[in-house]
Chains A and B, each alone.
Chain A
Amino acid sequence: MALTDDKIAQLTKKAAEIRRSTIESLIEAKSGHTAGSLGMADIFTYLYFHKLKHDPKNPSWSYRDRLVLSNGHICPGLYATLAHAGYFPVSELKTLRKFGSHLQGHPHREYLKGLETSSGPLGSGLSQTVGMALADRIDNGKSSGKQFYCLMSDGELNEGNTWEGAMLAGKERLQNITAIIDRNNIQIDGFTEDIMPLNPLVDKWRAWNWHVQEINGHDFRDIDRAIEEAQSVFDKPSVIIAYTIPSKGIPDFERKFEWHGKPPGTPEEIEIALKAVRTWGGRVKSPNDSDK
């Protein structure tokens, strides 16, 4: 499906709605992870509103593409996307992290239809994606129509389990895997290159026999071109290193690792955040703005 200018305009609008829902649910929950949830909003939007083969009314449709969220802590972004895509009512987002909610603090597959795996503990999603692709190849050979996506954070690449999965995918030449790394350069204790350097990251993945691309994770054309290329590569799994801005959409919070694991809390922070997401990153006037 071609990505037309009209479609890009639609996706841009949808991503803004998803950012707004994400931050509103985080404020209501009073805990949860802001930076990555907002940073990956454009990629979530692109996947669920343009690329994925899926059916929100039939989440267990067996021919669907599989999307594994390995960095489960950014689930507020995924939940908002699933709600806007029609998996459940948007109004339910305000139950995030509350007792009895489908929207558990970290994704729990048995609580919400539309999640492929339970996650939160880092580093295990890629291997599960590899297992899914292997199982599919046993049944359907290399000509399966399904795609297997794994979303990962850069911080979770510290986990050895990730590289065990990468090694096996390269060995098995699992061409229908597309891994996307949220390369936002932050983790809980600081900047990734200070905590545990990942660079040269492209070389690491190439060494495990992966096809590697680097993109701007907020540019729908860039995302689309990279996914199309990833899926045209034969006999190799693909990884897309998506450079993103943590907390993208709230200029005052962007690029600050302090926002990795908390929502806006003080009245001032809440006002700044809501104003930014409700005015599309400040590009349109807030209803509260004076006309001066």
Chain B
Amino acid sequence: MSINPDQKLNHKLFDKTMEVASMRRGFGDGLVQAGAADKNVVALCADLTESLHMQDFKTKYANRFIEIGVAEQNLVTVASGMAAMGKIPFAGSYAVFSPGRNWEQIRTTICLNNVPVKIVGSHVGVSVGPDGASHQALEDIAIMRALPNMVVLSPCDSIEARKATIAAAKNGKPTYIRLTRDKTPVITSDHTPFEIGKAAIVFKSAQSKFDIGIIATGHLLYRAMLAAKLLEKDGKSVIVMNLATIKPLDEHAIIRLAQETGAIVTVEEHQITGGMGSAVAECLVKNYAVPIEFIGVKDQFGQSGTSEELLAHYGMTEKDIYAAAHKVMLRK
């Protein structure tokens, strides 16, 4: 097996007994831990407290929790004011509304002010499922990474969501954390290293020369690893990278991956336009140009369906990643 042992991933990975867990639960647990570690951590929510798993924080630290109501512009501007007084606010909602509806307020009152508000956006991607297109955030990475001072985090599972939350509480910067609605495969373990700004190699074939590099963010990392296994069956040697921090980009690791593999596939549940793949391409075109294929949504809105149906329809399964890898290798 080509799983990188240094990453101490879930030992049940690819096993039938592999757990699935909620990233929102991971965030909620991380928020309580961050709140215990620092009394300046406060939380605000726009009428989605249970859905965002902010209930435990609210129960434990009632005087540090503000219920904003359905008002996302207010959610982030109030958070900005609290941060100006030394607080570390976590502002939670669905990503379509925050950072979607309130983008300008985030730009002016959080990024231009340069205060450490944490925007937590759940329900990203088409895997939101039956709620349909209006609730499936597919543009959040693009609009957040375009903002100066903003850090953009996209954890791959529940455990990484918890670690990202705890790390964000300490980074002193405006930060966006994107979360998936569905329970997703538990890829990492409590012992997997996590550091904002560091990419991680999670899968590496035993060869010394590599045919293809796959960079994935969010829960699709699991699909990327399934695709890597399929590619290995074809005799291809593969490296898979987990890019949990989209900004600041770990340019060093990405350039090295391009040098080692000579062809890249990027994988994200987001519009291809302006997303993680775009960030990778900006880096590589400037530093070490290699052919790239992008897995993501192709300038479309989603629709209702099951998460599995939608990921298949919009071309974001392991089969799509596998096909994209073969395609990009031909362009070497």
Number of interface residues of A (CB under 8 A): 32
> By the criterion CB–CB under 8 Å, are A131 and B69 in contact?
no
Q: With A108-B112, A124-B108, A138-B42 as given contacts, are A130 and B81 in contact (CB-CB < 8 Å)?
A: yes
Q: Which of A37-45, A163-171, A202-210, A242-250 contacts B (4 or more CB under 8 A)?
A: A163-171
- Within the complex, what minimum Cβ distance (angstroms) separates A129 from chain B? 6
- Within the complex, what minimum Cβ distance (angstroms) separates A10 from chain B? 32
Q: With A132-B84, A135-B85, A168-B68 as given contacts, are A121 and B104 in contact (CB-CB < 8 Å)?
A: yes
Q: A129 to chain B: which residues have CB within 8 Å?
A: 81
> By the criterion CB–CB under 8 Å, are A136 and B84 in contact?
no
Q: How far is the CA of A80 from the CA of B42 in the complex (A)?
A: 36
A116 at the interface (CB under 8 A from B): yes
Q: A68 to chain B: which residues have CB within 8 Å?
A: 81
Q: Is the interface of B mostly helix, strand, loop or mixed?
A: helix
Chain B contact patch, size range: 20 to 34
Q: With A118-B112, A119-B108, A135-B42 as given contacts, are A168 and B87 in contact (CB-CB < 8 Å)?
A: no
B86 at the interface (CB under 8 A from A): yes
> By the criterion CB–CB under 8 Å, are B85 and A124 in contact?
no
B255 at the interface (CB under 8 A from A): no
Q: How far is the CA of A287 from the CA of B68 in the complex (A)?
A: 58
Q: A165 to chain B: which residues have CB within 8 Å?
A: 74, 77-78
Q: With A165-B74, A168-B74 as given contacts, are A135 and B87 in contact (CB-CB < 8 Å)?
A: yes
- Within the complex, what minimum Cβ distance (angstroms) separates A57 from chain B? 21
Which residues, 148 to 174 on A, are CB-close (under 8 Å) to B? 160-161, 164-165, 167-168, 172
Nearest B residue to A172 via CB reads: B66
Q: How far is the CA of A131 from the CA of B66 in the complex (A)?
A: 10
Q: With A132-B82, A135-B81 as given contacts, are A161 and B64 in contact (CB-CB < 8 Å)?
A: no
- Within the complex, what minimum Cβ distance (angstroms) separates B108 from chain A? 5
> By the criterion CB–CB under 8 Å, are B109 and A118 in contact?
yes
Q: How far is the CA of A133 from the CA of B42 in the complex (A)?
A: 14
> By the criterion CB–CB under 8 Å, are B81 and A131 in contact?
yes
> By the criterion CB–CB under 8 Å, are B104 and A131 in contact?
no
With beta carbons under 8 angstroms apart, the residue of A66, A121, A134, A167 that contacts B108 is: A121
> By the criterion CB–CB under 8 Å, are B86 and A128 in contact?
no
> By the criterion CB–CB under 8 Å, are B82 and A131 in contact?
yes
> By the criterion CB–CB under 8 Å, are A136 and B105 in contact?
no
A110 at the interface (CB under 8 A from B): yes
- Within the complex, what minimum Cβ distance (angstroms) separates B172 from chain A? 14
B22 at the interface (CB under 8 A from A): no
29 sample A-B contacts, Cβ–Cβ < 8 Å, listed by A number: A110-B114, A117-B84, A118-B109, A119-B108, A124-B73, A124-B80, A124-B109, A127-B73, A127-B77, A127-B78, A127-B80, A127-B81, A127-B109, A128-B84, A129-B81, A130-B74, A131-B77, A131-B80, A131-B81, A131-B85, A132-B84, A132-B85, A134-B78, A134-B82, A161-B77, A165-B78, A167-B74, A168-B78, A172-B66
Binding site for A on B (CB under 8 A): 42, 63-64, 66, 68-69, 71, 73-74, 77-87, 89, 104-105, 108-109, 112-114
